[in-house]
Amino acid sequence: MAEPGLRLRGQEVRIVVLQNGSTVSEINSITMMDTNTDLVIQEDGFLGEVVNRYDTILNGYGGNFELHVTTADYIALEKAAVEKAQRLVPGTVFNVVRVDLFADGTSNIHTFTNVAWGPIPENIAGRAAFVKVKLSFKCSEKATQTSAIL
């Protein structure tokens, strides 16, 4: 078992959203991120066989993250996502990059390539609550580099 102090914590994770290779906006107040590898179990039954056959299919990757609104910069990301969806800016490519910085000095860089954005809800829970924005995405490809140099 790993030493308790060497486990990866949220403070060692950075998230960057790129549009056509450039940072869309400086987002430094991310409160939560979930990512997933969308594997599906395929079950087939055939006549003459007493047991079904199983296979695994990769349906892509995805994730979502929440951020506290600290500046008006996040609206640039929303605007760019809408423009891509409306085909106003042809050829736009978004990548979501998650960087894990481990205590032993190693790192993992996960790049979600050419993501498609889902709904972008804003939440204002109350007078004293921070305004939150949630972004969700899906993509077909993800690359991971281990011990990469930042």
Pair of tokens at residue 118: 């889902």
Residue range 145-150: average pLDDT? Answer: 72
Spatial separation of the C-alpha atoms in residues 106 and 35, rounded to whole Å: 20
Task: Specify the pTM.
Answer: 0.82
- Whether the Cβ atoms of residue 140 and residue 97 lie closer than 8 Å to each other: no
Q: Mind listing the pLDDT tens digit for each residue in 17-41?
A: 888 888 876 677 888 889 999 999 9
What's residue 15's pLDDT?
78
What's residue 89's pLDDT?
86
Q: Mind listing the pLDDT tens digit for each residue in 78-133?
A: 998 999 999 998 888 999 988 888 888 888 899 999 999 999 999 999 999 999 99
Spatial separation of the C-alpha atoms in residues 115 and 44, rounded to whole Å: 31
